[in-house]
Homo-oligomer: A and B are copies of this chain.
Amino acid sequence: MRYELYYWTGIQGRGEFIRLALEDAAADYVDVNRKRGDSAMMPFLRGKQEGALPYAPPFLKAGRLVIAQTATILAYLGPRLGLVPGGLGAEIYAQQLQATITDLLAEVHDTHHPIAVDLYYEQQRSAARKRAQAFREERLPKYLAYFENVLERGNGRQALSRHSYVDLSLFQVVSGLDYAFPNAMQRVQKRMPRLRALAGRIAERPNVRAYLASPRRIPFNQDGVFRHYPELDSSR
């Protein structure tokens, strides 16, 4: 099966979680927009294509199936790419964890867009400072502690006992948070040894390492979910 991924060409964004899974598994895929431009998505978003109607990118075409929503795409790809341990319990647990990563991403996005997604950051900077502070002080430590606890429990239990798409996504979360909030991440560094070790292991997986060094990996920038505005980070 040759998978077709549709996602914005200029950012890692939510599409990066799909790219990492496809790259790690050495799947046969086309990053369609890279070849044909972002307008390639429009017939799908406007309902001119058969199959499921996506609300937004990313979406994946797999044969006749059209699948949108990052966590749903990964729930579909996981078993097919060998990126989730076998068994119902592990699959469901992976889906739950990915859904929680989705929640975290929405909160990261809203640190720079707390009022309106349709306005520029500069138009909501004052609220962004307040929301980012609450995120750094309350939400970021809570999410990281949660995933750290999941990893601590994971050994010998059902989910995350073997490599999975959730591991790849947690690598991306840690990488993105390091980029966006380097000082805040430094402060919680000691409380996340397992997450840090996991991110290090993922970065060294041969296919991931080759991908990260390739031009296919778009650098973090100020248009994606993870953005670095120094005024939204902690002071050093």
Which chain B residues border A127 with CB–CB below 8 Å? 114-115, 127, 130
Closest Cβ of chain B to A47, distance in Å, is: 6
Q: Decide yes or no whether A134 CB sits under 8 A from chain B.
A: yes
Cβ contacts under 8 Å, A117 to chain B = 134, 138-139
**How many chain-A residues does the 8 Å CB contact rule pick out?**
47
Of A32-40, A98-106, A221-229, which binds chain B?
A98-106
Nearest residue, chain B, Cβ from A147: B55
**Contact of A153 with B47 in the complex, beta carbons under 8 Å:** yes
Q: Is A120 part of the contact surface with B, judged by Cβ < 8 Å? A: no
Contact residues in B for A210 (Cβ distance below 8 Å): none
CB A114 to nearest CB in B, in angstroms, measures: 5
Q: A97 CB to closest chain B CB, in angstroms?
A: 8
B95 near A53: Cβ-Cβ < 8 Å: no
CB proximity to B under 8 Å, residues A14-55: 47, 51-55
Interchain CA distance A47-B150 in the complex, whole Å:
9
In A44-68, the 8 Å CB interface with B consists of 47, 51-55, 64-65, 67-68
- A4 contacts the other chain (Cβ, under 8 Å)? no
Question: 1/0 per residue A157-180: CB within 8 Å of B?
Answer: 011000000000000000000000
A218 proximity list for chain B (CB < 8 A):
none
**Complex interface: chain B residues within 8 A of A47 (CB):** 149, 153
Q: A114-B114, A124-B130 are in contact. List 18 more A-B contacts (CB 8 A).
A: A52-B89, A52-B93, A52-B96, A52-B159, A53-B146, A53-B150, A54-B96, A65-B92, A69-B99, A72-B99, A75-B75, A75-B92, A75-B95, A102-B103, A103-B106, A106-B106, A115-B127, A116-B134
**Which A residues are within 8 Å of any B CB, using their own CB?**
47, 51-55, 64-65, 67-69, 71-72, 75-76, 88-89, 92-93, 95-96, 99-100, 102-103, 106, 110, 114-119, 124, 127, 130-131, 134, 138-139, 143, 146, 149-150, 153, 158-159
